[in-house]
Amino acid sequence: MEPLRVLELYSGIGGMHYALKESSVPAEVVAAVDVNTTANEIYKHNFPNTPLLPKTIEGMTLHDFDKLNFDVILMSPPCQPFTRIGLQGDVADPRTKSFLYILELLPRLSKRPCFILLENVKGFETSAARDALLKTLRECDYSFQEFLISPTSLGIPNSRLRYFLIAKRPPGSFSFPTSIMEGFPMCESPDSLAVPHNNPTSSECEREKSGTIIFKLETEQELGRKRIQDSRETVRRLQDFLQEDKEDMDQYLLPPKTLLRYALLMDVVQPSCRRSVCFTKGYGHYVEGTGSVLQSCVDVELETVFKNLELLSEEDKLKQLLQLKLRYFTPREIANLMGFPADFTFPKHISVKQQYRVLGNSLNIHVVSHLIRLLRVLYE
């Protein structure tokens, strides 16, 4: 069997490339395309032999694409136009321009790809960009299936609900329902693609706003939801993803100013927890809504520290909070949760802030790998 020729668009730090390697599908990345200078440095550091095109997609001509003679497109277009916390500019956002250009070129390619895999944020599924995508796929005779999947479906203790689409050209078509699936399909394959059906719905990523506040500005419903997540034995504990090397961990401790200002808003987890919230590109720089923080000192009761905290003086409040030794997850730990292998590294000159930023823009490799393996079953 000839290896599939893969074009990796919006290649970032190589999440799609790593997912392809993990899937064991016979394939070669014939080109990766991205304009982000930092991401490109990291990609080249880890994949020195892959042709990397540091240019805009709309700067490539139809002839440029045809010359690559690819069988597969893997892509993760900019998500900012579709995020719930953004302006949701959709197709009017300039960052969507390159994606619309791809849709314009697809019907005109001399050889259309056999397979397409796309990843984006939850919210893309209700966008005009997604409508344009489906219209183009139908016009080009692709069958497709859409998913909303979080890594918790694979036993990974990190909520990162994302939209995925896989598409294929004839012969054959998908046997799944055409509506958006939440989680993976239960199916038989040589690689046992079936996974536990503890898939999250969108409610897992939404905060419950009503109910009685217990402590730390959390409601009874929120605490109940977290207890349920921590009781899922099909999900691994965070401790499996933490760095064993404890050197230089002090640099990740939350500074006193941050503790005093944001303590009540942070999602605090312990190594024994089976959950963490989605890490974004602002992690380590902004606190609220960018990812969980880790309680390093587990001998101290979290509830004891936070109960009546607002009644204390600033000095006593800080003394209480410092007992927990709250720290940020390191970039390596976030990379572990996102499925990056041990041999994935950053060039030495890439700052911690830059590392957080590119990881927050990346994807979960294990999830994408499973979807690529679904395509392999169809390919064979």
Tell me which residue has tokens 């963490």.
Answer: 276
Q: Tell me which residue of 339, 375, 366, 361 sits closest to 117, measured CA to CA.
A: 375
d(CA 364, CA 76): 12
Which residue among the candidates 79, 114, 273, 278 is catalytic per the annotation? 79
Residue 155: both structure tokens together: 């036993």
User: Residue 278 catalytic?
Assistant: no
Q: Tell me which residue of 13, 6, 10 sits closest to 33, measured CA to CA.
A: 10
Q: Are 175 and 127 in contact (CB under 8 A)?
A: no
First CA to last CA distance, the chain: 9
Residues serving a catalytic function are 79
